[in-house]
Structure 1
Amino acid sequence: MISLVRYLAADVLRGQRYLAPLLVFLGVLGMLFAYDPGPQLAAFSGSSALIYPIGAWLAVVVATSEDVVRREVTVVSAGAWSRVLTAVALTAVLFGLAFAVVATVWPVVASPRPYTVLQFLAGLGVHSVSVLLGVGVGLMFARPVLDSIGRTVLVVFTVVVMTYPLGRYTPFGWVLDALGDNQVTLPVLWAGVIGFALVAGAVVVGARRV
């Protein structure tokens, strides 16, 4: 599994399709934290709202990095679609967690306000859960669940956009509400469980689609 994850990660890096979400991510973070972002935990709200769709975007990039023929070769080499889909999920989560670390460190460095260790860990947890939810959404509608990249992008975009107005009725909304209330532990924990379930469910659904 480790070698398969390394192969997929190298393939994504070689294809350079990760550059688009990376540049958007860095550009928006730069604008968000160009000035004092406000109180410590509240400062993570903007970056959490950003990293959720970025996580979905990264998941689609990882899931579609290989064309159909190359993916079939990878499946034959790995021995089963379930192994490949698990590796895709792990790769997408690892890329997402790297983005979560950057999103957490950036305001700590840029803000004139000092952050405690607990506030930093809370920010890391919030960003990790947000990106996990995004990855779950992206994988749930990526190949092989939906074969067309056009349909994948359309459905993922629609789900992500609809998340924001639905607010507190969604796990992602719980995360943002928790930041506003400065009570992040329980809501973020539940949202994280749902994010993990989304990612695992995407693997199961994908394996049954092929």
Structure 2
Amino acid sequence: MIALARYSLSMLVRSQAYIAPILLFGAAIMVLTTGDAGPLAETYSACALVLFLCMTWLTVVLVNTEDRTQRAMTATAAGGETRVLAGNVLAATFVAALLTLTGLIYPLYAGRHPITGPGLAVGVLAQLTAAFAGIAVGLLCSRLLIRRTGVAVLAAVGAVGAMVLLRVVPPVGPMMVLLGSEAAPETMLTPLSGLGAVSVLMVAAAAATVYYVGRRQE
């Protein structure tokens, strides 16, 4: 599985399709957090929102680096489409971890915040929750499920917009409400852990949907 994840990452790097979402993430984090002196939870809320958008985009381009013929050949060599899809998810998780680390550390360097253990834990949980939600949306909007690029773009924009704007739709909406509250970081950890679990389940459900619906479309 590690080899398949490395292969997915190498294909992503060669395609250079990662450049735009990575630049967007870096620019947005710099603009939103440089010089900030507000509550650390609100700062990480901005980082999580940007990460959600960028991981949706990155997951789509990661899965779409191979055309259907190339992917079929990879699946044959790897022992099945399930393994290739799991490799894609693992590769996306690795990218999400790197971006989460960036979004966790840069605001501390560029802003003026008191650093506490619970505050850092909130940042990690919030950004990983957003990242996994983005991976789930990206899988559902990839070529494996939606063949037409225009339709996929509209679906991604609609899904991201709905999950951000409709604050009752977990996990992103309730997470943004929680991080924007004045609650102490310690009290946020339990609900954030629950929302994180929801986002992981979303990835599993999205992968299963892509696999089974994709097989029917063959």
The normalised TM-score by structure 1 is 0.94
Letter aligned with residue 159 of structure 2: V
Gaps of 5+ in 1: none
Letter aligned with residue 34 of structure 1: T
Gaps of 5+ in 2: none
**For the Cα contact (< 8 Å) 1:25–1:51, is it kept in 2?**
yes
Distance 2:169 2:137 in 1: 16
**For the Cα contact (< 8 Å) 1:5–1:88, is it kept in 2?**
yes
The normalised TM-score by structure 2 is 0.90
1:139-167 CA-partner distances (Å, limit 9, x unpaired): 12213112223322220111101222211
Distance 2:147 2:198 in 1: 25
Q: Match of 2:199?
A: 195
**For the Cα contact (< 8 Å) 2:141–2:155, is it kept in 1?**
yes
Q: Percent identity?
A: 27
Q: Match of 1:15?
A: 15
Distance 2:33 2:119 in 1: 17
1:105-127 CA-partner distances (Å, limit 9, x unpaired): 11111112221133112211111
Three-state SS of the structure 2 residue aligned to 1:168 is coil
Please list every run of at least 4 consecutive aligned residues from structure 1 whose deviation after the TM superposition is greater than 4 angstroms.
none
**For the Cα contact (< 8 Å) 1:37–1:111, is it kept in 2?**
yes
**For the Cα contact (< 8 Å) 2:93–2:132, is it kept in 1?**
yes
**For the Cα contact (< 8 Å) 1:175–1:184, is it kept in 2?**
no
**For the Cα contact (< 8 Å) 1:100–1:128, is it kept in 2?**
yes
**For the Cα contact (< 8 Å) 1:18–1:58, is it kept in 2?**
yes
Letter aligned with residue 207 of structure 1: Y
Coordinate RMSD, CA, aligned: 1.5
**For the Cα contact (< 8 Å) 1:174–1:188, is it kept in 2?**
no
**Aligned pairs, number:** 210
Letter aligned with residue 114 of structure 2: P
Q: Match of 2:209?
A: 205
Per-residue deviation, 1:77: 0.7
